[in-house]
Every structure is written in structure tokens, then in C-alpha cells.
Structure 1
Amino acid sequence: MRETERARARAVIDLAALRANVRALRAKAPGAAFMAVVKADGYGHGALPCARAAVEAGATWVGTATPEEALALVRDAGLPDDVRVMCWLWTPGGPWREAVEAGIDVSVSALWALAEVVEAARAVRKTARVQLKADTGLGRGGSQPADWAELVAAAYDAERDGVVRVTGVWSHLACADEPGHPSTALQLDRFREMTAYAHAQGLRPEVRHIANSPATLTLPEAHYDLVRPGIAMYGLSPSPELGAPADLGLRPVMTLTTPVALVKHVPGGHGVSYGHHYVTPGETTLALVPLGYGDGVPRHASGAGPVLVGGKWRTAAGRIAMDQFVVDLGGDDVEAGAEAVLFGPGDRGEPTAEDWAQAAGTIGYEIVTRISARVPRVYVGG
């Protein structure tokens, strides 16, 4: 028996579903290249296998947040030579040299970052691939419009010197997951102006991109040369307002299961878990689920988190602890070792990641991304 078959819990990752999601998303933006975003270890699904599967389905770019994530992809993922890797979350003193040597596209939002990448490129005697980020209204990374001319001019000078190649101009949307939000049109207008200015100053980037998952699905005018789906690639809807995954042609990729550790009969009035926030209303059976917030199950879902046990939806009874929580079976008899499904695609009537998100007052992104390394990933579907 393999270790994953004996595991206390496991997250099954369906790579066939991921590839199907990539193909469905590519069909939404047929004129744009596709960047598979695999930051945060592929939103908890495993960056390397998910990157490989996405490339098999037609992705020609792979995106990460941190340079360490990007360097790991270049080193270990075995991607084809023509697949580009980009990262965008830099801090002063970052591994610019390693990134330039590896041919990674690095994002630059300010003059200090451009100066550091220029220094690194000169040190390793290799032209750096640089993408300029514009802050079109999200208010996080990116150059403010007031500072854009100075950044574009400095990048143009560095490109003319042969130190950098400006391969992209990009931005990120704030409210694309809220259909009709007025900020989206304003951001697209500003992006159009800022990319046009860069072009007028002599920059000829390979790609212009602003479309995240919701924009890929619903805003063709945002597709430009490249789209960057993240959560949708893993089969989750960017927001309930846009529809459920099936409505969008997507299938959730992760299924989280564990065997029930213990089943016992208890009398009415029995307190359950820390603080006794749940007390049995009558004689019943309790099942112990050996997963907790140490595994990424959100403590905020205490008393509300849904689980499929014995063919029925159950609810976390009382506090979710670090390693375990309890469900009230309502008198049903289930044997220890029976499967408990916390979330999956919903095919068998099990809860979904969105159900857990609603129970915890958060978003589906967080539910899958927070599943910790203590839970082994098991890959199926090639």
C-alpha cells in the first residue's frame, strides 16, 4: 500500500480537469496568449505539476508572485524552452542576478527596481527581460500615472543601451469580479493611455496584459495580447456573481478527503470541543474528522463548515481545533475509516470550496490556497 493510500488526509489534484479548464479559458480569449498563474504553490495545488499540465493544454507563459517561485519553476518544472516565466513581487536586494541569468521576465514598478535590474544585467552580461507595471487604479504595485513618464524614459534609455529588453507593459484590475463596477472601465481607459504613451516614447513590448480570471471570462476588451487566469484555472469561480464553476465551463481541480478517525455514542447535553460552543441536543453519534486549522481548515468555519460523511452533509460541531474537528451524525452509525469529504467538484453531493468559503466568511481562493503541506497532494489525470 502506498503512503498516500494510508494517509491521514489527502488532497487529490485532477490534472485532467486543470487542462480542460485551461482549454475552456483559452477559448474565451482566442486571440491572446495564455499565462498560467501558479503563485502560492499553484494556489495550493502544486506549482510544478500544474504548470506542466497548463503548458500541455496550451499555456505559453507561466506567472508567479515571487522570484523564488519563478526560479523553482525554471529549475525543476522541465518546461519547454519557448515557455516564458514571469514574476512580479520584488523587494530591494532581491535575486535579480539569478532571475536575469535564468531569462525570467521581471516586473518593474519604480526607478529603484529598474536600477537594480540594470545593475544585475551588467554584472551577468546578459540583457534583462523587463515588464513595466502601471498602477491603473488598484493602488498596489505599479507606477502611478504621474511617475509613468519618468519610468518609461529610464526604461527606454536602458533598452537603448542594450541592458534591458522591455518585453511587456501590464496592470491589474481591482473589481473585475463585480460585473459593471465603474472602476473597471476607468482602469481600462487608463491602461490604454499608459500603453499608448509607452509606445509613443519608442517602447515596443511583446505583450500588453491586464486580464485576470474574471476579465478573461467576461471582458473581451481587456484581453489585449495576453490573459492571466489564476483561480479559474483551478476550476473555482472568481466570484459567485459571475456564476458557479459549471456555469463558466470550469471544473474544480482539488478534492480534500480524510478517513473518519473515531465514531462514538454520546448522551444528550454532552459538550463538544473547546469552549463547549456545541452541546448535543440529545443522544447522538459523533464522528472525529482528523483535519484542523493546522492543515488549513479555517477555524472561522467552526459550527458551520460542511462535510460529506456517510452520504449526508454534516456540519462541524463546535470549534475546529488545530488537528481535528467533530461532526454530529445525528444518531447515524458510520464506521471509523469511512471517507469524509470536505470539498470537491460536487459530483457526489459533497460540499465545494465555495461552500467552505461561505461558512468561513472568505473566498474560495483562500480555502484551496491555505491547505497546508501537511496534507499530501495526490495527482490524477496524467
Structure 2
Amino acid sequence: MKTILVTGGTGFIGSHTCIELLKQDYDVVVVDNLCNSSPLVLERIAQITSKKATFYKLDLLDKPNLENVFQKHPIDAVIHFAGLKAVGESTKTPLSYYHNNLTGTLVLLDIMQKHHVFNLVFSSSATVYGENNPIPYIEHFPLSSTSPYGRTKVMIEQFLQDAFKADSRWNISLLRYFNPVGAHPSGLMGEDPNGIPNNLMPFITQVAIGKRDKLNIFGGDYPTHDGTGVRDYIHVVDLALGHIKALKKLALNKTPSVEAYNLGAGKGYSVLDVVKAFEKAAAKKICYQIAPRREGDIAEFYADSTKAKNELNWQVELSLEQMCHDAWNWQSKNPNGYQ
């Protein structure tokens, strides 16, 4: 495999994956509609790697222009990140989430099949495990979700399973990742959410930089070691490298298949654990208050990533302290993100 199409390649995880692809001498083609990202990301990728990704400002729903990309480039595999991703927003605008995430993926798969491109790494999520599975989550557990966003991930996984059953040329990795945080160690790239952050780490960094007054911690009475929710946090660079490992596994497959892999640290940290680690890394106090639990939140979840270690030769290398250090390095050098 040489030429990789990355959908959503200017997003948080996609951009870091593009860096790792370019560092390993892949030719990278990015399609992104920039609805949740900045074109400056492409300049930062080039600055870090001294290489350029080919970029098309393009929505996956634009089938004719997406097909042109496949006609112009000898694409060997696709890493599919593109999609709307805010759980809360998805409950308010479910139809837009279903239309964008599901229809966009179906358009992509149709064009891939037409051009005989069957290697695919799909950006799935731990949300597919729902609320009722025991921890740690293992890949064979039944899937469900409590939000329209999560249901799009469950449904796309089912699309891909069904596509493989109908045509055994499909060669697919489903990467279910947990809570990506951190930033590129250069400080040139990191998480830059639009509006109020949905995720913990960018909210903490925005409090530290003075953009937010305080952090609301939703729930202080969970049955955890300090009463706050426990999650599995993973450095975005570790996560990006997981996609490279998955690509290499697809290239080595003698028999195509569809395989799911958890990408997580395999252990959980509470919200207060993360706050304390960040305070130490940044030498900053974080003002917070305990707020009522949010509907649908569970006390804790984390991955069993044994399968990824055994089959992809992948495991996390970077600590919570490094995640916090790199997140603060990014935010302190870019107080307004990519603006």
C-alpha cells in the first residue's frame, strides 16, 4: 500500500494520523469539508513533516467530486474519519447526524467498490458498547448505543460487516477508540473544538488559558475511588500510530476479513485524576465545581486492548502526564486554537 485516502483528515485524530503516514512515506490524499476544522492544519502538517498531503475541500455527500478523487489517484486504502461527532448535538439534530454520517459512508463505500479499493480502516468508537456491558470492554461484546451519534457508529459497523458477507474482497479494520487527548509534541497541532468543548481535556486547557471560568464535573457521587467518572484516556499520537498498524495488518492479510480492535490504555482515570495530572504538568490550578450527573453517563469504562496488542503489535506508549503536558503545550502556544 502506498497511496492512502484520509477522509476527515484535517480533524483532531485525522490530522495526527496524516503526520504519521507522511513520516512513514505514504502518499496521503485528504478529503474534508472543513466544517469542524481549519485549513491551517494542512500548513502545520507540512511544517512538521516537510511533506505535503494532497487536499480536496470536499463533502462525502458530493459523489461526483469524490469520484474524481478516485480517478485522479491510485488509492490503495482508505482511513475513514469523516463524520459529525458530538454526542449532545446528535440528540438535538439526529436526522442531520444520520444523513451526514450514514449517507456519506454509503457514498464512499459505493465509490470504493466501483474503483476496486477494498482496504478500509474505520474510525469507530467505544460508544458502540452502550451502557450494559461489563468492564473492561472486549471486542466480542454485543453492540448498542444511547445516542444518535453512537448509533451511526454501530450502524456503519453493520454496513461493513454486511458488505464483507456479500463481497469477501473487503478487508476492514474497525478501530474502537476510547478518549483521545493530548496534542502533537511540537505544540503546532492539537484539539481545537468549535464553541464550548464537549470533551474534558480541551475544557480543562481552556480554563487554564483563561477562556473559561471553571470546569463543571458532572457527577461526584459515582461508585469510583473519588466519586467522579472514570474513563480510558489515550494520547492522540498513540492513537494515530494504531491506524498505521491497522493499515499494515490489512496489507499482510492473506485472507481479507473484518476485524474490530479496541484502542485504549486498558485502564481508567477519573476526572479528578486528570485534573490533578494536568495541574502538575502545567503548574496551573484548575477551578472546578461538581455538577449533577448527565443523563446517560456511566460510572466507568475502559478497554481490554489485548487483541490490538496481539494482532496489530500495538499498545499505548505515552502516559497521562505526557497527555496533559502536550495538551497544555498546544493550548499555551495557541490560545485561540488555529484562529
Q: With structure 1 as the length reference, what TM-score do the two structures score? A: 0.30
Higher share in helix: 2
Higher share in strand: 1
Q: With structure 2 as the length reference, what TM-score do the two structures score? A: 0.33
